[in-house]
């Protein structure tokens, strides 16, 4: 069975921006439900297909591997899924509904949306992809900013889309995650910079505290 971050019994935890096999294994051992792997070559957390391919047989197959993309070609994305390198694609760029519809039901897609106002909430509502990730709007940086957005907008999205899985991202950390979950009640949460050390790699203590704060 293919793992699914938003179908766990509790709020799922995705640790995004995995940059090394050690980080990946460590996060899995600490209880992560999914790993986010960034294939956008302008990201400071970018890793190549060749590198990730060497990780696959060393990772727990029950933990979902989600590739993060910004305006990548459809062919390159499905190649990574078909070859078993990732389970799902998270689209973070300017991909429109016609692009998203290419994936059909065979491929799992998450559409990330930068939130800053009511209009961006309306835009998220109109997306054809079922699972939506709400992140802080940060222009052309496309996520990973470490900044939060007003969670009231996430609540508005949820009230308009009560049946849709919602992944909450944007500046989450061990200090605010409990409040965020209580206010928004998302299907899953996504964290990157909030569990990183100064070198940009995952801090096991922060990862452990974050996951425990989510799962109890």
The one catalytic residue in 16, 23, 27, 190 is 16
Q: Is the pTM higher than 0.85?
A: yes
Compute the chain's Rg from CA coordinates.
16
> What pLDDT score does 27 carry?
98
Domain count within the chain: 1
Start-to-end CA span in the chain (Å): 26
The CATH number of residue 117's host domain is: 3.20.20.70
182 annotated active-site: no
> What pLDDT score does 64 carry?
97
The tens digit of pLDDT for each residue in 202-211 reads 999 999 999 9
The tens digit of pLDDT for each residue in 85-135 reads 999 999 999 999 999 999 988 899 999 999 999 999 999 999 999 999 999
Q: Which residues contact 92 (CB under 8 A, 6 or more apart)?
A: 40, 68, 69, 70, 112, 135, 142, 143
What are the two backbone dihedrals, phi and then psi, of residue 27, each rounded to the nearest 5 degrees?
Answer: -65, -40
135 annotated active-site: yes
Residue 174: how many CB atoms within 10 A of its CB? Answer: 19
The one catalytic residue in 23, 33, 135, 190 is 135
Range of the structural domain that residue 168 is part of: 5-215
Gap between the Cα atoms of 132 and 18, Å rounded: 21
């Amino acid at each position: 069975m293919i793992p699914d971050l938003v179908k766990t019994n509790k709020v799922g935890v995705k640790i995004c921006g995995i940059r090394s096999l050690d980080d990946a294994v460590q996060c899995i051992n600490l209880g992560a439900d999914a790993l986010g792997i960034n294939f956008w070559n302008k990201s400071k957390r970018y890793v190549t297909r060749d590198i990730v391919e060497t990780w696959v047989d060393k990772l727990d197959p029950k933990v979902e591997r989600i590739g993060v993309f910004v305006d990548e070609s459809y062919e390159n994305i499905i190649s990574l899924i078909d070859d078993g390198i990732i389970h799902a694609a998270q689209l973070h760029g300017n991909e429109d509904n016609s692009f998203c519809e290419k994936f059909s039901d065979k491929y799992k897609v998450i559409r990330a949306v930068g939130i800053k106002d009511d209009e961006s909430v309306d835009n998220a509502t109109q997306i054809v992809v079922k699972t939506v990730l709400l992140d802080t709007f940060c222009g052309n940086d496309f996520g990973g900013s470490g900044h939060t957005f007003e969670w009231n907008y996430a609540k508005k999205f949820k009230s308009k889309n009560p049946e849709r899985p919602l992944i909450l991202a944007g500046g989450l950390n061990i200090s605010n995650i409990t409040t965020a979950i209580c206010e928004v009640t998302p299907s899953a949460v996504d964290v990157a910079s909030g569990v990183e050390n100064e070198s940009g790699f995952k801090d096991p203590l922060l990862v452990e505290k974050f996951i425990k704060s989510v799962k109890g």
